[in-house]
């Protein structure tokens, strides 16, 4: 165990399939567990409490704000943040246990992350090493207060060996329609609230650019069918995000039917 205690934090929404395994995985390096739940309708909260986690119920505020909700309640200054579908590899567990957090010069540490479809590790399309900062000193830094694609704003980041294992999608179908997640709608709502606009060509341009970036520039074509699927999914999601944004400005009925208090 690292020489300072660590608090594990997980944000959830209907994660009964994942939360138990996630918390048991975190217990290997964390003395305290906090789950920030966005009003799940399944057994997520019950399972989290059974695993000894403190559960905070909080309407979803967006990626960064939601991940920062638990920081004032955490008893330890070092925070390890995982999503419910992420796990620490055995190598990462040993790397964290070997840290000297009481006198480190770093305010945070980054991990490479393996992203999976089913049991298949996708090594290209920009999906690896996909390094992200998840272990940090809450007295020195935290997640950016932005609603989408937030990250820890570390100023002196150490790099750890060993991977986070991210079981992103249980099959190819979830690339395009993951239950309880509508990534393009969330993105469109955030852009609309920021006052962003797009042209009639915007959806096509953004969708095509996303596909080209994943499939060509990030070598998705070397991943075979999975690489094409990942790249196509990126293109479709970017197309839909900007098509929905355009629709908010073009159709008052559609705009009036959206609940902007619910990001999903």
One domain, residues 139 and 198: no
- Strand-strand pairing, 132-137 and 108-111: antiparallel
Domain count, the chain: 2
Residue 100: per-residue pLDDT:
94
Residue 85: per-residue pLDDT:
96
One domain, residues 165 and 52: yes
Looking at 144, 169, 194, which one is the last position of a domain?
169
Provide the domain limits for residue 232: 173-256
* CA–CA–CA angle 167, 164, 186 (5° rounding): 55
- Residue 193: Cβ within 10 Å count: 12
* Per-residue model confidence as pLDDT tens digits over 141-179: 999 998 888 999 999 999 999 999 999 899 999 999 876
One domain, residues 142 and 227: no
Residue 53: per-residue pLDDT:
98
One domain, residues 143 and 194: no
One domain, residues 113 and 186: no
Tokens of 111: 């991990």
One domain, residues 17 and 127: yes
One domain, residues 53 and 68: yes
Residue 207: per-residue pLDDT:
97
Domain of 105, CATH number, reads: 3.90.550.10
Listed residue (176, 186, 181) closest to 236, CA to CA: 176
One domain, residues 90 and 147: yes
Burial class (CB in 10 A: 0-12, 13-18, 19+), 132: middle
263: in domain: no
- For the segment 244-260, the average pLDDT, to the nearest whole number, is 94
One domain, residues 46 and 159: yes
Looking at 153, 169, 185, which one is the last position of a domain?
169
């Amino acid at each position: 165990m690292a020489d300072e205690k660590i608090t594990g934090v997980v944000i959830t929404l209907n994660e009964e399939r994942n939360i138990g395994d996630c918390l048991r995985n975190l217990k290997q390096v964390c003395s305290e567990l906090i789950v920030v739940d966005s009003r799940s309708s399944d057994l997520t909260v019950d399972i989290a409490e059974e695993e000894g986690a403190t559960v905070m119920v909080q309407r979803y505020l967006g990626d960064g704000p939601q991940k920062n909700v638990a920081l004032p309640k955490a008893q330890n200054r070092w925070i390890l943040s995982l999503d419910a579908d992420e796990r620490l590899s055995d190598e990462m567990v040993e790397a964290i246990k070997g840290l000297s957090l009481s006198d480190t010069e770093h305010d945070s540490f980054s991990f490479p992350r393996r992203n999976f479809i089913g049991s298949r590790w996708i090594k290209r399309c920009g999906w690896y090493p996909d390094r992200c900062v998840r272990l940090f000193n809450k007295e020195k830094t935290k997640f950016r207060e932005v609603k989408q694609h937030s990250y820890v704003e570390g100023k002196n980041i150490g790099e750890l060996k060993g991977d986070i294992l991210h079981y992103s999608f249980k099959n190819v179908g979830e690339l395009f329609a993951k239950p309880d997640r509508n990534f393009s709608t969330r993105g469109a709502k955030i852009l609309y609230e920021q006052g962003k606009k797009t042209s009639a060509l915007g959806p096509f341009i953004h969708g095509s650019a996303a596909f080209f970036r994943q499939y060509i520039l990030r070598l998705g074509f070397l991943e075979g069918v999975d690489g094409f699927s990942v790249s196509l999914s990126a293109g479709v999601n970017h197309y839909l995000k900007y098509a929905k944004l355009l629709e908010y400005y073009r159709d008052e009925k559609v705009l009036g039917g959206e609940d902007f208090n619910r990001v999903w």
